[in-house]
Structure 1
Amino acid sequence: MGAIRVHEFTTVDGVVDVPMWTVDYGFPDDLSESIGALTASSSGILLGRTTFEMFAPAWSTRTVEEDPGAPFFNDTTKYVVSSTLTDAASVWRNSEALGGYDPDRIRELKADRDLYVSGSATLVRALVADGLADELHLYVYPVALGEGIRLFPEGTSQKLSLLDVERLSNGVAHLTYGPA
């Protein structure tokens, strides 16, 4: 059985909206290594439509010389959960549209591969609620925004278990949670 590992950049007040606020903190080697450890064991990428449509133009033309993560994002099969996107391969090579969220379809994918998820807040909420996310890697930036899309919006109740804590050189805390 494979695992689903989720990666989210978040603020201390839980905002996971388009993380432009991360720019002020740089992308030091220890952050790159931490995320690289998540992607290294993954043989597939699972994304929601919105994140897929943001990632495709940003990653599809990027080379390894520009970013060591480019081969992973471009060469790994991307599975896109969307009820509206039907031809993901025409948007970004090695991409497959799965249709709308179906926990049984996700279980099938997870059965024989490790999947990496980045962003995709709506998808992640569903994965966590359905017990499909094995690890939730929150990279918590030392900033509060006061507004924006939150991973767990008001009214959400979700118990988790803390698995690990890592302090990064740019002041970011990498918190790893699993199912409670």
Structure 2
Amino acid sequence: MRKIIEQAVVTLDGQISTPQNWLGELWAGEMEQRSRDLLFEVDALLYGRVTYEQHAAVWPHMEEQFGDYAVRMNTIRKHVASTTLKDTTWNATLIEGDLIEQVAKLKEEPGGTILKVGSGGPLSRTLLEHRMVEEYLFWLFPVIAGSGARLYDGIDTTFLKLIDVTRLENGILGLTYAPR
């Protein structure tokens, strides 16, 4: 059975908004390499509508700037959960019908790990509530943002178990958790 990994970038105060004034400064180097490694290890991406539309508008035009990373983003298979989107482009399939049932079917299909892209939205909450994610990778940035969207704001208390910690030279911690 395939597993889903949800990756999130989060500040010390729980913010997931990613203004360039703090993300860009810390992303280069090890963090960028870790993100690259993960993208090349998985064989599919899972999106909610908002993040999918943001990425679909940008990545097809980034191959010259980002080389094989952008090629991978553009060619990897994508699955999009949305109740309002009518069709997809950018190498994606729309998940139709009951979301949990369809994600369960997707996990039963042959293939490798699925990376859930984007965090904090309705798809993340639904997957968490239904225990559909096997692994959470939180990149904790050494920043206090002060305001912005919060990771899993409004969700019921959910306990996770720590399975790995990665410390990057610039102070970012990679905290990998599994459902308890």
Q: TM-score, normalised by structure 1?
A: 0.88
State the match for 1:42 in structure 2: 42
Take 1:22 and 1:169, find their aligned partners in 2: how far apart are those partners?
Answer: 15
Take 2:172 and 2:78, find their aligned partners in 1: how far apart are those partners?
Answer: 27
Return closer, same or farther for 1:8/1:153 CA change in 2, 3 Å cut-off.
Answer: same
Return closer, same or farther for 1:7/1:84 CA change in 2, 3 Å cut-off.
Answer: same
Which amino acid in structure 2 is aligned with residue 145 of structure 1?
A: A
State the match for 1:117 in structure 2: 116
**C-alpha contact 1:9 1:141 (8 A) present in aligned 2:** yes
1:95 correspondence with 2:104: no
State the match for 1:146 in structure 2: 146
Take 2:146 and 2:137, find their aligned partners in 1: how far apart are those partners?
Answer: 22
1:55 correspondence with 2:55: yes
Query: Larger % of helix: which?
Result: 2
Give SS of 2:161's match. strand
Identity percentage over the alignment?
29
Q: TM-score, normalised by structure 2?
A: 0.88
Unaligned residue ranges in structure 2 (runs of 5+): none
1:105 correspondence with 2:102: yes
Return closer, same or farther for 1:19/1:45 CA change in 2, 3 Å cut-off.
Answer: farther
Return closer, same or farther for 1:129/1:155 CA change in 2, 3 Å cut-off.
Answer: closer
Listed one character per residue, the Cα deviations across residues 47-106 of structure 1 (whole Å, up to 9, x for unaligned) are 0111111111221122166244212210011111111111112xxx21122147611100
User: Cα RMSD (Å) of the superposition?
Assistant: 1.9
Which amino acid in structure 2 is aligned with residue 168 of structure 1?
A: L
Give SS of 1:24's match. helix
Return closer, same or farther for 1:19/1:67 CA change in 2, 3 Å cut-off.
Answer: farther
